Copies of this chain bind each other. A is one copy, B any other.
Amino acid sequence: MTENTTRASTFAPVNIAVIKYWGKRDTKLNLPTNASLSVTLSQDDLRTHTTASCSPSFTADSLTLNNADQDISGARTQACLRELRSLRAALESKDSSLPKLSTQPLKIVSENNFPTAAGLASSAAGFAALIRAIADLYQLPSSPTELSRIARQGSGSACRSLMGGYVAWRKGDKADGSDSEAYEVQPASHWPEMRAIILVASAEKKDVSSTAGMQQTVASSALFAHRAEVVVPQRMAAMEEAVKAKDFEAFADLSMKDSNNFHACCLDTQPPIFYMNDTSRAAVRLVEAINASHPEGKKYAAYTFDAGPNAVVYYLEKDADTVAGTFKTLLGDKTGWSGANGEKIKARQGSLEGTEVAGEALKKGISRVILTSVGDGPRKTEEHLC
């Protein structure tokens, strides 16, 4: 760090939606066609670490991710930087004693602690960390919800990574997007028992980028408008209730239904978009078998799939051996079981009835697992990357 350099660093989390964001009603402002709701995952397991610094001696804005230079000329990143600078400039114009950081070039350095190739939605954590670090650098008084309106313009789902626990993203109605923001439904401490196992599918080229895919769906699916206008609003209300009541049964039912509904709209797109593959189908069948083993006919686990073949399976801590233990029996030789989260999971003895075919497909198609849990929002840190 050279003289006159100011800096701030943050960790920001990944989030995995249980009511899915898919479709924009405004592509420039990243305004969604429907609300969404996600679980913020623990930064102990998955996080982006970002340091934002500025100095009059820097020559231009720059961003590196995992030591590789990134293009920041894109409209989305530029919109975020412009909005943050504008907030800083307003502070500086009110208080002339403040250093004129808004006019200085920014140097942003980011690192993900998870494999980028794993196909995990890293842009959410990345933009949330970038926004949070710059907001701290600029000492902005903005709330997470206010910052979420900026993060949304970088990557839609990033707005939900500015808070911990159970986070919703309001669709909003205004054309300028000022009411399309994230809010905390409940903090992680409200329902800290939520766990997740991510089954990372072997690398395969992604079918269609989510940015392109969602607009193809909006333009061509005969079913999507019904999802956005009728199905999701009902499920959002029910899911907020489920989280408040810590009702895992309802949470699981809604999560699985909404994941399938989203992928159904992808399949109904012209040309059809397939994110789930035979490995994903096998994960669905395993979760169904785990649930079928419940003595009271309840649900132990819920699957959800983002725009890729990886399964994220939510469950409660008390059922760790039942849920994660079943996957450990099958996938115990894959990466991801070492460390505190994985070592304490007891592998299930014997396989579940009728899962032989699905089990073989999973063994073949899954390359690693990640064990994690609900977690907090971005954390300020004094560990600086530059």
Contact = CB atoms under 8 A, between A and B. Distances in A.
Interface of A: 205, 221-223, 226-227, 230-231, 253, 256-257, 260-261, 263-265, 267-272, 274, 277-278, 281, 284, 288, 357
Contact of A261 (B222, B277, B281): B222
Given A256-B270, A270-B257, A288-B271, A223 B277 contact: no
Nearest to A253: B270
11 contacts: A222-B226, A222-B230, A222-B257, A253-B270, A260-B268, A260-B270, A260-B272, A267-B267, A271-B284, A277-B278, A278-B278
Contact of A264 (B253, B267, B281, B288): B267
Contacts of A270: 253, 256-257, 260
Contact of A227 (B222, B269, B274, B281): B222
Contacts of A265: 223, 264
A284 B267 CA distance: 11
Contact of A267 (B231, B253, B263, B288): B263
A272 B260 CA distance: 7
Nearest to A234: B222
B281 A277 contact: yes
Contacts of A222: 226-227, 230-231, 257, 261
A261 B227 CA distance: 14
Given A205-B357, A271-B284, 12 more contacts: A222-B226, A222-B257, A222-B261, A223-B264, A223-B265, A256-B270, A260-B268, A260-B269, A260-B270, A264-B264, A264-B265, A274-B281
Contacts of A257: 222, 270
Contacts of A221: 264
B264 A284 contact: no
Contacts of A288: 271
**Which of A230, A264, A274 has the largest number of chain B CB atoms within 10 A?**
A264
A303 B180 CA distance: 40
